[in-house]
Each structure stands twice: as C-alpha cells, then as structure tokens.
Structure 1
Amino acid sequence: MHDYIFILGNAHDLCREELVGVLKTLGFDFSIQKLYPPQCVQVTVTQPLPEEALIERLGGTVKIAEIIAPTSSLDPQDLIATIRKKRTTWPKTFGLSAFTDKKLPLPKIAAVQKKVLEAEGVATRYVLPREGQELRSIVVQKQAVTEFLIIENNADFIIAETKEVQNSEDWGKRDYDRPFVDPGIGMLPPKVARMLVNIAVAAISYQSSAIRQEKLGQNSSKGFTILDPFCGMGTVVAEALMIGTHVVASDIAAEMVNKSRKNIEWLKSAYPKTQDLESRFLVSDAVHVSDQLKKNTMDAVVTEPFMGALFEKKGAQLYQKNKLVTLSHIKNTIKGLEKLFIGCFKNWYQVLKPEGVIVITLPEITIAHHTIFVKSVIDNCEKLGYTPVIGPLTYARPEAVVRRQVYVFKKIFNS
C-alpha cells in the first residue's frame, strides 16, 4: 500500500469532492481519510500515484506529499531518524511546514537539525515559512526545497515529504495573460472552474471502463462534450479543454462570445495539447440554447449562471449600481433567478445525453443576518427531470455577500 497526504485549497469540501472524483475517474483503488487539520486528507492506494500528472489535473489540491511515518516525538534528532526511514541522503535544501493548531518551534527544530547534520559532515540549509507555519508552494518550487510536513493526527503527528506543488504561475498565466479579463463581471477563478469540470467528468456514470482505466497522461476525458451556456470570458471552457474534453460555449451577449472565442484561440496557441479538441461558440440565451444544438448530445452542462448585479459593500450596507439594497429587493432578485434557472434546467434537459449531468454554482445571498437561496430550484429539480447527487459544496471568500453553492444534478432518463 502507498500512503499520501493531499493539502487542499480553502474550499475543503469542494476540493475533496474533486479529488475523490478524479481518483475514481482514473480507476484507482483507494481509501480517503480526513485528518484533524481540515485542509489535509490521507489517501491510501494500492499502486503508486502519478504525482506530477495529478497535481496538474487537480484544481483544488495545493500539494501532494508521500507519508514517511507517524511519530510521537518532534525532537529534532528523532525527526531526522524518522525521515531517514525513507531517505538514504539528506537534501541540500530542506524546509519544514506544520499543519496543526499548535504553534510549533519550527526555527528551533530546523536549526538543531542543521547543527546535528553538519556534525555528521552533511552540508545543508533550511527554508522556513515567513508567515504562519506553511511554506508557500512557489517557494518550494522556485528554491528547489525538499519540504517535510508535520501534520497533527490525534495525539501523534504524521511526517510526510512533499512530492509535487501546484504551479501557481501556470494557473496565473491562464487567468491574467489571456487577451480578455474582466474581474468586474464576477468571474469564476480558473481553479474553481477546473474543479467543476473534474467533478462533472467523474459524475458521468456511463463513461466506459476503458476510458476510466486510461492513464492520466493519455487524456482520461477523451470523447466527452461539455456545454457552458453562460460562458462569459470562457474560463470553464478553457479548463474543460485543458483536461481533454470538447466544448460548446454560448452566451446571450455576442461580445462575451467573441471574447471567449479569442481567449480560447490564445489558449490553443499557448497549450498545444488543446489544439485538436473541438470548441464551438454560439450566441444564445441559456433558456433557448437547445434551439441550436441536437438533442441528447451533451455529456454535461458545467456553468456559473448569471447571479444578479454585483454588490458593493459600504460599511454594513449593500449597494447595487449605487442604489441601497434592501431585503425585499434581494428576495425579488432571488425569485427572478429561480425563474431563470428553472427555465434553463427545462431547456438543458433536451440537449443532455441520458444520465448526463449539470454541475452548477447557485447563489446564496446574505443581508442583514438573513440568508436567501434559490430554494425552489432544488425543491423542483425532480419535476424538471433531475436527481441531485452532490451538494451543496460552498465556495466563497470570507466576507462575500454572494456565496457560491455547487450542486451536481443527474438527468433522469425515461426510455
């Protein structure tokens, strides 16, 4: 058996759902266990994981580490002995990160380790976190640091060695280097878009076992087609292409469709692996997109729909377009969104394949200690022809007015 630690991003439940989905999609025999620090999970597999390919595939995993051993002692010399159970040589540059509520004396531990090792004739240097107790991924990557993790696990600790870290520069490239970017429209971050696409691929239950068993580097999403009917700048579309699916992108605004097309042209130039994948662009409102598509042709709809006008927070008050927002106004907004989403679900049923899925972010708005949600969409989903299979999984910044709630709905097919 092989034991790993996955360090997840901020939306722990969403990140964990993506991880489980990808491992299932790729045919791994595994078990997963939550650890005390909420961003850490332990994965046990029957065969070694392709860490480099996995970190590239996953949007919600920050680091992948291989477990060395459990320990009850954080004495520096004991830690050296523990690490040497898996390593025959000590790295030239090592770093320490801790995942625990306890404030560990990382500088003291590292300094003593360096002194002990130098007494043995081992030349080494160490790097420590500037803030908190975790080294940033870019530091590990850029400074070629061999990072050792100290993870709280009940009364003991798990010691692990980081094998791969998320390439923040590559993610930033797709976010900021593309021709068209507009943070003012409330765009979905690429990492979240990737998580939604991965969850969609995992949820398509009728994918063949041959596809599931393909190696990660050989395009495990081959043959799928994903529709984003609120494509905006094309973030979901781009991340779907990055994992190997064909895409259809539509939006009610011709300007958005054109910007999405230009962004995807840039993507295909920057990432050659996406060049042979089909990408279609349509100008259509999301409630009538089936007018331009054949029935039962989409494997999944993956989208962040229109969530209402953006809010501006001024102290304790909310404004939209410089107008004060009241609770009554929010309730009316939610009713309008419910009507829109129900219309969308009815229309998308026509283009989804049997047992196709919808992966969607639905808005939850908080104002004056009241939380309002598009509840009727969930309540009526079975009447619309869907079964909810995953959700809600929350993605939101701490002070966000609108919180994204991720749901997965599977089409109920009546033959």
Structure 2
Amino acid sequence: MSKSILVLGRQPELGIAELESLYGPESITEISPNIVSLSLDPRDIDFERLGGSVKLAKYLTDIDSTKWSEIFQYLNSTIPKHLDHLPEGKLKLGMSVYNLNASANDINRTLLGLKKTIKASGRSVRVIPNKAQTLNSAQVLYNQLTNQLGWELLLIRDGNKTILAQTVREQDIDAYAARDQNRPKRDSKVGMLPPKLAQIIINLADRGQKNEGYTKKTVLDPFCGTGVVLQESLLIGYSAYGTDIEPRMIDYSKANLEWVSDKIKGGTNYQLEVKDAMQDKWDKPFDIVACETYLGRPLATEPDSDTLNKIIQDCNFIHKKFLTNILGQIESDTLMSIAVPVWKIKGQNIHLPILDHLEEIGYTELSFVHTKGSKLIYRREDQIVGREIIILTKSK
C-alpha cells in the first residue's frame, strides 16, 4: 500500500486534527509529535488545502538501523541504483533529519560523501548544505528540491528503525504571504487571521473528504471581518457566505474577494451582508459554519484582573447570544468550527466560561482521536490573546 509522510506545522495538534477531519482517524499513524504517516498515496492528498502541514513526502522504505554511519552506508549503496530513473541534468540533493543523533555537520559530511558517489556514477549533482538538522521551506522551494531533478530525502527515526522518504510538496510560503499581505484591505484592529489558520478552521468542519470527494458546499462566516475565511473557502472551490455587524467590514471583504478572484483565480460565488450574529437570520442553505468570532480587545500586556474580567464578560455575552441564535438555524448534521478567544495569563490558559455550558444551550462538542483530549489552541509565543478552536454540532 502507498503511504505518505507529513511534517506538521508549529502547532502540531491543529495539523493532526485537520488531517483526521479530512481523511479519517484510521488513516493516520503518529511517528513523533510533529510527524505522521497517512495510508494514502501522496497524489490523493490535496496538500494546497492543508494549513497545518508544512511538508508532504512519499514513503520509500525502512532502514533497519538508527546509527548514522549505517544509514550513510545504506544510502551510499542504494542511491546509485535509482539514478537511471531521473531525467538528464544536474541533480540537486538535500536532506532533513528528524529525531536521529546527527548534527548539521554530520549531515553535510554525508551529503558530500553521497555527492562523490553520485559523481562517480556519471551524474552531476549539487548538494544543499544544512544549517540545522532540517531544511526550511525557503531552502526546499528556492533550490527546487521537489522538481524532477530535485531530491530532498527525509530520514525519520521510528523506534529502532529509520524511515526514508522523499519530499514531493512543500508549503508555498510565497503564496501564503501574498494572500495575507497583498490583499487591498487589512485591519489590525479586528485581528489578522492567518490564511493557514483559516484553512484549518474550514477543514475542521469539513469531515470525510476522503469518502465524499469534493462536493460543492457553502461556508458561512457570521463574523467575516476582512474575509479571510471566505477567501480560503473560494480557493477550495466552495461558495462563501459572509456577514458582519459592521458595514465597513463587508466593504473590506468585498474588495478582498474581488482581488482574490482577479489575482489568484479564486471563485466568484459569494454573498455578503450586514447582519448581527447575535440576533439576525441567515439565508439558507449553508453546509458549514467556519469563523473566527469576536476576540475582545487586543492586549499587548497582561491586564489587571478587573479589566480582564470585563473583557471576558463582554466576549462571553456575545458568544452566548450568537450560539443561541444560530442553533435554530442549522441542520442536525451541520458542523461548526469556531475560533474563540483564550487568554494566557501568568502562564495559564483562561477559557471562555460559556464553553462549560455548551450542552445546556443545545450543542455537542466533537473531539479528535489523535489529539488525545488536547485543546486546539493557536497562539504565537508572545500573544496574550489566542484562538481556541471548538467543533460543534446540534445535540440530537
């Protein structure tokens, strides 16, 4: 059976939950906290859609050792046998190593040894030197290591053996930057939702793609802001329905979605309206609810307890009203993926109080097999206000 290897992003719980949502828990095997294997051919994985994975590789084989000298011997004897399958031209060779006892210097010495062997076979080759155990996305992309003449070999410790894999896709850092920074309308006051996180939020409410294929769906974002979730929905090929209480945000979303349709060739099937998520009705049908809600006041420093309590009370009120309002407007099988605020104060996470009362309102919170009960929290290290993603469905 074909098998894929995925290297997860900075917050791997989000990446593994995303994969579980789209491809099912049974397809995933955890190798380490940030690396998983998927029982799918890499060609069956829509890598551009994934916000929580940075690298997709084709599983090649297991090496029955974790000793670096023996791994080198295996590569040195095996690589020449595969050179005839490559097109003519100069080969580019790179290497990323995970959880093995090998320094960057060890890896570079190995690469030079492999270079010597490859040249002795009559092929020209350029090696990409390591500054760390792994190559970053920029190194992989700019050195074209996923092209026909590129090889990035992954060596991953898995118990007493080493997995050998070859990278076939790398996250497109330039495309993400363009979708984030080049949009005509941005507003730091309402929060800057990263496109990667928007992808994850959508995917967590879109379970079973492996079985369903791409059925046309409509994504509702009741707090659309500048339209990042809507933008990423269109790029998947879905329809987007965005509402916001503030008319200016609807204008911003309109400008940004027009830009996406023009510059990136996203779809044009979207609807935008001014609506109050706490009391208004949405047009039907919509299949998925995916949004970042109101996160409260931005905080550069930890607030005093009175200020924090006021912020939490305000956010809690809005979320309770919203969840109560939309409950009667969703179908029994509609999934809601919602990013809500979570505050880190004195090293501890403070959650919205309403999250302890979801059943009373009429919701069931869904969990993931491979996250083992961990909260799905997205936060940069220096942030006080993070996002906690919850997946809800109407209680039966």
TM bucket by the smaller chain?
0.7 to 0.9
Task: Answer yes or no: is the 8 Å Cα contact 1:77–1:116 preserved in 2.
Answer: no
Partner of 2:14: helix, strand, or coil? helix
Partner of 1:285: helix, strand, or coil? coil
* Aligned residue in 1 for 2:321: 343
Task: Answer yes or no: is the 8 Å Cα contact 1:387–1:409 preserved in 2.
Answer: yes
**Aligned partner (choices 68, 72, 82) of residue 74 of structure 1:** 68
Rounded to whole Å, the distance in 2 between the matches of 1:39 and 1:368 is 27
Rounded to whole Å, the distance in 1 between the matches of 2:375 and 2:114 is 45
Partner of 1:366: helix, strand, or coil? strand
Give the aligned residue type for 1:311. Answer: L
* Aligned residue in 1 for 2:393: 410
| 1:30 to 1:412, Cα distance in 2 relative to 1, 3 A | closer
Displacement of 1:356 in angstroms is: 1.0
* Aligned residue in 2 for 1:161: 166
Displacement of 1:82 in angstroms is: 4.3
Give the aligned residue type for 1:386. Answer: Y
Rounded to whole Å, the distance in 2 between the matches of 1:273 and 1:334 is 37
Per-residue CA distance 1:212-243 (angstroms, 9 max, x = gap): 443xxxxx141x22111111110011111111
Displacement of 1:369 in angstroms is: 4.4
Correspondence list, 1:177-192, <5 A:
177-192=182-197
Per-residue CA distance 1:171-220 (angstroms, 9 max, x = gap): 211111111123343221001101111111217xxx9xxx9443xxxxx1
Give the aligned residue type for 1:34. Answer: E
Determine what percentage of the aligned residue pairs are the same residue: 27
Partner of 2:358: helix, strand, or coil? coil
Give the aligned residue type for 1:175. Answer: D
Per-residue CA distance 1:90-118 (angstroms, 9 max, x = gap): 77111011112634311111111112222
Give the aligned residue type for 1:39. Answer: N
Rounded to whole Å, the distance in 2 between the matches of 1:85 and 1:44 is 26
Rounded to whole Å, the distance in 2 between the matches of 1:50 and 1:254 is 42
* Aligned residue in 1 for 2:336: 358
* Aligned residue in 2 for 1:35: 31
Task: Answer yes or no: is the 8 Å Cα contact 2:68–2:102 preserved in 1.
Answer: no
Task: Answer yes or no: is the 8 Å Cα contact 2:42–2:57 preserved in 1.
Answer: no
Correspondence list, 1:184-333, <5 A:
184-202=189-207, 212-214=211-213, 220-222=214-216, 224-275=217-268, 277=269, 279-290=270-281, 293-294=282-283, 297-313=285-301, 318=302, 325-333=303-311
Task: Answer yes or no: is the 8 Å Cα contact 1:297–1:351 preserved in 2.
Answer: no
* Aligned residue in 2 for 1:217: none
Rounded to whole Å, the distance in 2 between the matches of 1:289 and 1:179 is 29
Structure 1 vs Structure 2 CA RMSD? 2.3
Give the aligned residue type for 1:10. Answer: R
Displacement of 1:282 in angstroms is: 1.2
* Aligned residue in 2 for 1:321: none
Instruction: Report how many residues are paired.
Output: 376
Give the aligned residue type for 2:55. Answer: K
Which deviates more from structure 2 when the two are superposed, residues 249-258 or residues 386-395?
A: 386-395
Displacement of 1:269 in angstroms is: 1.3
Displacement of 1:412 in angstroms is: 2.5
Rounded to whole Å, the distance in 2 between the matches of 1:306 and 1:135 is 37
Give the aligned residue type for 2:165. Answer: A
Unaligned runs of 5+ in 1: 215-219, 319-324
Which deviates more from structure 2 when the two are superposed, residues 238-247 or residues 78-87?
A: 78-87
Per-residue CA distance 1:248-283 (angstroms, 9 max, x = gap): 1111111111001110111111233513x2x11111
Q: Which has more strand, going by share of residues?
A: 1
The answer to whether structure 1 residue 125 and structure 2 residue 121 are counterparts is no
| 1:300 to 1:31, Cα distance in 2 relative to 1, 3 A | closer
Rounded to whole Å, the distance in 1 between the matches of 2:153 and 2:19 is 22
Q: Given the two structures, how large is their TM-score scaled by the length of structure 1? A: 0.84
Rounded to whole Å, the distance in 2 between the matches of 1:121 and 1:83 is 13
Unaligned runs of 5+ in 2: 146-150, 368-373
| 1:264 to 1:128, Cα distance in 2 relative to 1, 3 A | same
Task: Answer yes or no: is the 8 Å Cα contact 2:297–2:311 preserved in 1.
Answer: no
